[in-house]
């Protein structure tokens, strides 16, 4: 057991998928994993372990935002020995060529969070994806003809913003999309010497105000989840 997870030692796999929404964890376990069992219900943050193509994989909800991701990520790595962590999230698209349901691989993360400044004594730090996971996910996406984009994303501590100025500045510099957990994930992975990648499905297009409903969202994750699972089981 850890502070926020009730799994016993050995109940969580070294390969873990990380959706923000705990119900997405349940959905992935039910739709994609064999012999899945729920190892965590603490705070309703569901976590499951099962088998995918004969390999043990876990899927753990992380909640929203860097602080919540930091808690679950730290415990998964430190208390349970997670080695490959792949976020399966949603994001808001910030470039016009991106459409709802497109898939983004977050190569690098820009942020308005001061999480890394605190760690690095006021200096900038660039959280980046693990290259071996990134290239594998990209090749899988290409082989399945998924509309995939690779690049810089915007990690934010705000969902509802006082001003759109910062968002527009990131758009101007080609940043693909906004989400709320990848700074914490990539920075933790670097700290502990494990592998991490964020794969995101476009759930809303900020330039047109189009967005998926909750019901539509669930069905839109198949491509992202298949890419994530096949990436994480690869050695
Ligand atoms: O769909 P998830 O993985 O939660 O990701 C995105 O959705 C949430 C905001 O609605 C934030 O957590 C953001 O990062
Ligand atoms: O974090 C997020 C996710 C989707 N859309 C946003 O505007 N922000």
The ipTM, to two decimals, is 0.97
Distance 148 CA to ligand 2 centre (A): 18
d(CA 92, CA 123): 28
Mean pLDDT of 133-154: 97
pLDDT of residue 211: 93
Distance 91 CA to ligand 1 centre (A): 7
Does this model's pTM top 0.95? My answer is yes
Question: Cα dist. 3→8, 67, 71, 84, 121 in Å?
Answer: 12, 15, 9, 21, 27
**Among 156, 182, 205, residue to substitute to test ligand 2 (most atoms within 8 Å of Cβ):** 156
Mean pLDDT of 90-97: 97
Q: Categorize the per-residue pLDDT at 22 as very low, low, confident or very high, splitting at 50, 70 and 90.
A: very high
Q: Which two tokens stand for residue 78?
A: 């430190």
Could you tell me if 84 and 16 are in contact, meaning their C-beta atoms sit under 8 angstroms apart?
A: yes
pLDDT of residue 220: 82
Of 89, 92, 42, 50, nearest to 69 (Cα)?
89
Contacts of 110 (CB under 8 A, 6+ apart): 152, 153, 154, 155, 170, 175
Q: Which CATH number fits domain 15-232: 3.30.43.10, 3.40.50.10860, 3.40.50.1580, 3.10.560.10?
A: 3.40.50.1580
Q: Which ligand is nearest to the CA of 60?
A: 1
Q: What are phi and psi of 199, to 5 degrees?
A: -110, 130
pLDDT per residue as tens digits for the range 181-231:
999 999 999 999 999 999 999 999 999 999 988 777 777 889 999 999 999
Q: Where are the domains of the chain?
A: 15-232
């Amino acid at each position: 057991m850890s502070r926020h997870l009730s799994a016993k030692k050995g109940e969580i796999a070294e390969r873990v998928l990380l959706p923000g929404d705990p119900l997405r964890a349940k959905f992935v376990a039910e739709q994609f994993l064999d012999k899945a069992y729920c190892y965590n219900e603490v705070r309703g943050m569901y976590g499951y372990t099962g088998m995918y193509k004969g390999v043990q994989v876990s899927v753990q909800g992380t909640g929203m935002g860097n602080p919540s991701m930091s808690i679950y990520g730290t415990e998964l790595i430190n208390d349970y020995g997670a080695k490959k962590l792949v976020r399966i999230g949603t994001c808001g698209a910030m470039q016009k060529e991106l459409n709802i349901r497109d898939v983004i691989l977050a190569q690098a993360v820009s942020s308005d969070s001061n999480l890394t400044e605190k760690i690095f004594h006021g200096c900038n730090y660039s959280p980046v994806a693990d290259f071996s996971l990134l290239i594998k996910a990209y090749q899988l996406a290409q082989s399945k003809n998924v509309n995939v984009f690779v690049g810089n994303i915007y990690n934010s501590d705000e969902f509802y913003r006082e001003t759109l100025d910062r968002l527009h500045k990131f758009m101007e510099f080609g940043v693909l999309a906004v989400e709320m957990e990848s700074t914490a994930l990539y920075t933790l992975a670097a700290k502990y010497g494990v592998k991490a990648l964020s794969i995101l499905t476009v759930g809303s297009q900020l330039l047109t105000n189009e967005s998926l409903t909750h019901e539509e969202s669930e069905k839109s994750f198949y491509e992202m989840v298949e890419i994530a699972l096949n990436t994480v089981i690869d050695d």
